[in-house]
């Protein structure tokens, strides 16, 4: 990050091609390591270019920054913590509904979801143009899934990327939440951990 010009006293903006599925992981990672002011460009490069704002193919040569990584500044869950969240709070599965239900799995050796987790595809956090839904809409979406302020909320996906998008959407909705960084890929490394299939609900339609 220092080589990229990141300093603690300068805001950082992260963007991707459009829907922030990757940019949100950059946002979360910098926040986890202690950067106090990280933003995500809503709608990403697609929105920027679509607004007629300037673009370039030139690569910058930033002056090295002074950022120092101080891990632990965002809440995280391990496998036991994710299981506890599913039992006593709300654990959201940010993957597509068919992966949650165990109908398909192209990445990990086992299909399904963590027992007690609720299907909440991250694609449901954004509008068709890739911008985030209004905070009130997001709050209503998560409330309908049982994720509300004051209750333990966690989220996971396949490997912690789209789950970071869920964390950002929850933040916009005013719901504190913890990320199971290892997510499903970590969960299935232990054959003793239970696996559920099927289920889901109306929210699957958004992903």
Q: What is the DSSP letter of 69?
A: -
How far apart, in Å, are the Cα atoms of 92 and each of 10, 97, 100?
33, 12, 10
CA–CA distance, 50 with 43 (Å, rounded to integer): 10
Contacts of 106 (CB under 8 A, 6+ apart): none
From 85, 157, 178, 179, the catalytic residue: 157
CA–CA distance, 83 with 159 (Å, rounded to integer): 16
CA–CA distance, 101 with 84 (Å, rounded to integer): 20
Of 199, 196, 175, the residue nearest 89 (C-alpha): 175
Which phi and psi angles does 88 have, rounded to 5°?
A: -115, -10
CA–CA distance, 109 with 29 (Å, rounded to integer): 26
Q: Are 153 and 81 in contact (CB under 8 A)?
A: no
Residue 129 CB neighbours (<10 A): 12
Does residue 157 carry a catalytic annotation? yes
- Please give the positions annotated as active site: 157
């Amino acid at each position: 990050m220092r080589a990229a010009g990141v300093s603690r006293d300068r805001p950082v903006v992260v963007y991707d091609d459009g829907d922030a599925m990757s940019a949100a992981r950059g946002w979360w990672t910098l926040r986890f390591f202690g950067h106090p002011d990280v933003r995500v460009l809503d709608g990403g490069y697609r929105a920027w270019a679509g607004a007629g704002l300037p673009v370039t193919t030139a690569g910058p040569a930033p002056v090295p920054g002074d950022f120092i990584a101080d891990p632990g500044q965002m809440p995280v869950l391990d496998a036991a913590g994710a299981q506890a969240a599913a039992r006593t709070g709300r654990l959201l599965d940010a993957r597509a509904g068919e992966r949650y239900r165990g109908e398909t799995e192209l990445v990990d050796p086992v299909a399904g979801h963590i027992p007690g987790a609720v299907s909440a595809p991250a694609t449901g956090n954004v509008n068709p143009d890739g911008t985030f839904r209004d905070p009130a809409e997001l709050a209503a979406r998560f409330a309908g899934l049982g994720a509300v302020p004051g209750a333990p909320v966690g989220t996971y996906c396949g490997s912690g990327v789209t789950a970071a998008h869920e964390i950002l959407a929850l933040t916009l909705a005013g719901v504190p939440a913890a990320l199971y960084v290892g997510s499903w890929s970590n969960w299935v490394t232990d054959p003793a951990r239970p696996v559920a299939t099927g289920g889901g609900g109306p929210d699957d339609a958004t992903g």
